[in-house]
Amino acid sequence: MASDIKKVPIPHRGVDYRGKVVLAPMVRSGELPSRLLALRYGADLVWGPETVDKAIIGTTRKVNPITNTIDFTRVPSFGQKHPPPDAKESVVYSIHPEKEAGKLVFQIGTSDPDLAVQAARLVAGDVWGIDVNAGCPKPFSTHSGMGAALLRTPDKLCSILEALVQNIMPEFEIGISVKIRLLETAAETEALVRRLVATGITGLTIHCRTTPMRPRERAIRGQLRMIADICREAGVACVMNGDVESRDQAAKLVEEFGVDGAMIATAAEKNPSCFRSEADGGLAPWDQVVGEYVKLTMDVGNKFGNTKYLLTQMIPGKQDAYKKCHATKCYTQLCEALGLEQLQEQARETDLLLDIDPTKSRKNKKANNKSAVAAGGNMANTRSDESRKKNLSSRGVTAAQEAPQAAVALST
């Protein structure tokens, strides 16, 4: 890139999105274990899942000495004025400050400038970028005027970005970015992008689909160069998203469309080794990746339901391991089903620490544990083993040690 091209100054602690291939923000698929595995395979930056402003506001920041994570926790209210006396503390968001240092971007779901600043201020000292979600089309985000709904209220979206730029950027020395989708016409998209890059943001990610489009529909790239040119004129980094499947493909797309970086979503959910170039080994076999992921999820005390969900994305549906995984109810059963005998002892320990009892029905388990109710779609329970004095997140967003790089064989 020519040295004379304008660039918005990158704050001291902020990240520059140029030349990066990054992990997209994904609900359920962007928890800490997945982020750490993506980083291991070469992701340059990782986005956590969208976290709603009101979900993070009111949390308490805690350092977990067992897992070496920073956890933002609260006692869920379940919609009541006073939380039940037996309500357990929940983890809303968790960060591994060592393994994610300089690479974690916090995505916020918001439709209010003041709430956005309040929420961002709580986590800004522990992350390296704040990204506003203005692209999610799902009802849980748009129903409150957040996500893709902000594309219809550009004045509000710009006011949110300006508030974050004016308050968070100078105080915490990190950049502010936004993720959007295409509008119906190129003219509408151009007008919006010009307004957004004038707010003082350092980065803009464009998902190359319109709001009504779904992942099965091919990304539209005809407007990419126009968007990239507008961003470059303003000195703002432009990252593309949509049907990017590997690091090598990302490099070709960056060259073809003149964008600064690329974001991978679905392909990373299926196999995070997509961040590794062909020169470095390329896409790893699914069984190797699954073995590493299972080990890592137990190392970090990941919620079993989340682990199982991600495995059903990683394991090909025609494999026997897919059916076996579906039938499991705990880590012990999972490792047995996948032929991970060397992990059985750790699996039993993890089930004990997370208080997982596969003999209990799902209905009874929910009835006996009110704290299983999520708050704001972004919270989950923590369980305590008093004899060990360990506080592990059942949401899967705390970390201890990364799993070894060695491949783990699976029986199929």
Q: Are residues 156 and 223 in the same domain?
A: yes
As a whole number, mean pLDDT of residues 175-194 equals 98
* Structural domain count of the chain: 2
pLDDT at 4: 62
Q: Are residues 262 and 294 in the same domain?
A: no
As a whole number, mean pLDDT of residues 95-113 equals 96
Distance between CA atoms of 37 and 32, rounded to whole angstroms? 9
Residue 220 counted as domain residue? yes
Residue 138 counted as domain residue? yes
As a whole number, mean pLDDT of residues 120-129 equals 98
Q: Are residues 49 and 193 in the same domain?
A: yes
Q: Using H for helix, E for strand and C for coil, what is the string for 291-344?
A: HHHHHHHHHCCCCHHHHHHHHHHHCCCCCHHHHHHHCCCCHHHHHHHCCCHHHH
51, 397 in Cβ contact below 8 A? no
Q: Which residues contact 221 (CB under 8 A, 6 or more apart)?
A: 208, 240, 242, 253, 257
177, 17 in Cβ contact below 8 A? yes
Q: Is the pLDDT of residue 407 over 70?
A: no
Q: Are residues 130 and 182 in the same domain?
A: yes
Q: Are residues 115 and 144 in the same domain?
A: yes
The helix (run of H) or strand (run of E) holding residue 37 is helix 32-40
Residue 50 counted as domain residue? yes
Residue 182 counted as domain residue? yes
- Dihedrals phi, psi of 225, to nearest 5 degrees: -65, -40
* pLDDT tens string 28-44: 899 999 999 999 999 99
Q: Is the pLDDT of residue 379 over 70?
A: no
pLDDT at 405: 33
- Dihedrals phi, psi of 197, to nearest 5 degrees: -70, -15
Q: Are residues 317 and 350 in the same domain?
A: yes
How many angstroms separate the first and last alpha carbons of the chain? 47
As a whole number, mean pLDDT of residues 165-192 equals 98
Residue 83 counted as domain residue? yes
Q: Is the pLDDT of residue 397 over 70?
A: no
Q: Is the pLDDT of residue 378 over 70?
A: no
Extended strands (E) in 135-186: 175-182
CA quadruple 118, 124, 127, 132: dihedral positive or negative? positive
Q: Greater confidence, 4 or 241?
A: 241
Output the average pLDDT for the chain: 87
Distance between CA atoms of 287 and 310, rounded to whole angstroms? 13
DSSP state of 20: -
pLDDT at 265: 97
Q: Greater confidence, 117 or 391?
A: 117
Catalytic residues: 136
Q: Is the pLDDT of residue 372 over 70?
A: no
pLDDT at 78: 63
Domain stops at, among 247, 280, 313: 280
* pLDDT tens string 246-263: 999 999 999 999 999 999
* pLDDT tens string 291-343: 999 998 998 878 899 999 999 999 999 999 999 999 999 999 999 999 999 99
Distance between CA atoms of 137 and 302, rounded to whole angstroms? 27
Distances (CA, A) of 148 to 42, 76, 206: 29, 27, 12
Distance between CA atoms of 406 and 287, rounded to whole angstroms? 12
Q: Are residues 242 and 172 in the same domain?
A: yes
Q: Is the pLDDT of residue 1 over 70?
A: no
Distances (CA, A) of 184 to 210, 228, 255, 404: 7, 18, 25, 47
Q: Which residues contact 254 (CB under 8 A, 6 or more apart)?
A: 240, 260, 261, 262
Tell me the percentage of the chain whose pLDDT exceeds 70: 85
Domain of residue 116, residue span: 21-280
Q: Is the pLDDT of residue 395 over 50?
A: no
User: Predicted confidence band at 57 (pLDDT cuts at 50, 70, 90)?
Assistant: very high
As a whole number, mean pLDDT of residues 374-382 equals 38
Residue 315 counted as domain residue? yes
Distance between CA atoms of 405 and 334, rounded to whole angstroms? 20
C-alpha neighbours within 13 Å on the C-beta side of residue 411: 10
pLDDT at 359: 83
Domain stops at, among 242, 263, 280: 280
Q: Are residues 273 and 307 in the same domain?
A: no
**Exposed e or buried b per residue across 28-39, where buried means at least 16 C-beta atoms within 10 angstroms of its C-beta:** ebbbbbbbbbbb
Q: Is the pLDDT of residue 280 over 60?
A: yes
169, 207 in Cβ contact below 8 A? no
User: Predicted confidence band at 91 (pLDDT cuts at 50, 70, 90)?
Assistant: confident
Distances (CA, A) of 61 to 72, 119, 407: 5, 12, 35
Extended strands (E) in 26-184: 45-47, 51-52, 60-64, 69-74, 90-95, 104-109, 129-134, 175-182
Q: Are residues 219 and 363 in the same domain?
A: no
Distances (CA, A) of 118 to 34, 171, 202: 27, 13, 20
Residue 12 counted as domain residue? no
Residue 318 counted as domain residue? yes
Distance between CA atoms of 227 and 51, rounded to whole angstroms? 27
CATH number for 233:
3.20.20.70
Q: Greater confidence, 365 or 257?
A: 257
pLDDT at 81: 66
pLDDT at 360: 75
Distances (CA, A) of 364 to 50, 144, 261: 30, 32, 48
Q: Greater confidence, 242 or 90?
A: 242
Q: Are residues 212 and 253 in the same domain?
A: yes
31, 306 in Cβ contact below 8 A? yes
